[in-house]
Amino acid sequence: MQQHTLSHPTSVTGIGLHTGKIATMTFCPAPENYGYIFQRTDLAGKPMVAALAENVVDTARGTTIEANGARVYTVEHALSALIGLGIDNVHIEIDGAEPPILDGSAKFFISALEKVEIVPQNAARKYIEISEKIEYIEAERGVHLVIEPAEKFSLEVKVDYNSPVLLPQTASLHDLKDFAKEIAPCRTFCFLREIEMMFKAGLIKGGSLDNAIVIADREVSEAELGSLAKLLQRPAIKVQKGILNTLNLQFENEPARHKLLDLVGDLALTGGFLKAKVTALRPGHLANTELAKKIRMLIKN
């Protein structure tokens, strides 16, 4: 397989989930062996931040990378779209700190990238091959990620939140060709109990019921729904089948599929396409990026 880049620049614009600020992100063609590098065009000197695990500085509710004094928040959805479409080299300009959250999935990154051609380059793709099994374990939280040698990239994810509404569920991907259709449209989710907490912590400023599946994991009073509607600037909010939303799930296991999407995006921080089988129990940005760091360490040695 050859490396691929884009024929022309292509952009997406929208509000960032955590910062609440509007930003335009432009994916530009890049030379062979370039990888993915962000550039903050809004800052003096237009600093660059390579999308690599050693640049991860925060994983609270999204993966944040930093280099040369510049940060880029919530990079995982855009990166998952690039991996999913088999694009090796892209220069990513962004005029703010956070990519648009759009509908909370990778769907609109995919459609922006598909507006231009994905063109082959001369150099062969450099796959990242794992020589032995690598694990990341957080025993007390039941987190267990395993990556092992394989001919092809595949992922299997299991989520289990001890929730009566969000039952344990699995999602898998055995061929990146299926990513755009089966995984990319799956939206991010959170629990109702987390929402007020996140607002108070200054997170999810750009959050609304349009870009997250909100799981009502307990009884919610009418009064509470009222104050939440006010907080989210919505006329009214209802609970339907345990989901605080007017939207329907696109797949029964949409939350597990979104976790798989995040995992693909976070593992892009290894710096390439993996030839490995990934099995993840209760993955999250901390676990995913720690695994990516371990892989980076092995590549460097």
Residues marked as catalytic: 285
**What residue ranges bind Zn ion (CB under 5 A)?**
188, 262
* Residue with Cβ nearer Zn ion (88 or 262): 262
Least Å distance, CB 186 to Zn ion, is 9
Residue (28 or 53) nearer to Zn ion, CB: 53
Backbone angles phi, psi at 175, to 5 degrees: -150, 125
CB of 156 or CB of 262, closer to Zn ion = 262
Which residue has the closest beta carbon to Zn ion? 262
Comparing CB distances to Zn ion, the nearer of 156 and 266 is: 266
| Shortest reach from residue 11's CB to Zn ion, in Å | 21
Contacts of 149 (CB under 8 A, 6+ apart): 129, 130, 131, 132, 133, 275, 276, 277
Write the DSSP symbol of residue 188.
P
CA separation for the pair 81, 166 (Å, rounded): 26
CB of 259 to Zn ion, least distance (A): 8
CB 55 within 8 A of CB 66: yes
Which residues have CB under 8 Å from 269's CB, separation 6+? Answer: 51, 52, 53, 55, 56, 63, 65, 79, 289, 292, 296
CA distance 192 to 186: 19
Report, in Å, the least distance between residue 106 CB and Zn ion.
8
Least distance in angstroms from the C-beta of 83 to Zn ion? 14
Rg of the chain, C-alpha, whole Å = 19
- Closer residue to Zn ion in complex, CB, 63/121: 63
